[in-house]
Amino acid sequence: LYSEQIDAFTAGGALLILMGNLLNLQRRAIKPAEVAAS
């Protein structure tokens, strides 16, 4: 049970990190487009 809880915690943390990275990439991709449009 203890090891399973650690696996779930690390998996959840990895997902949060991946989601954060994707959001940052999307923001970086959108900003240059908005600057070029304006």
Whole-angstrom distance, CA of residue 38 vs CA of residue 36: 6
pTM comes to: 0.54
The whole-number pLDDT of residue 32 equals 67
DSSP characters over 1-38: -HHHHHHHHHHHHHHHHHHHHHHHHHHHHHHHHHHHH-
Q: What is the pLDDT of residues 1-37, one digit of tens each?
A: 567 788 888 989 999 999 999 998 888 777 766 677 7
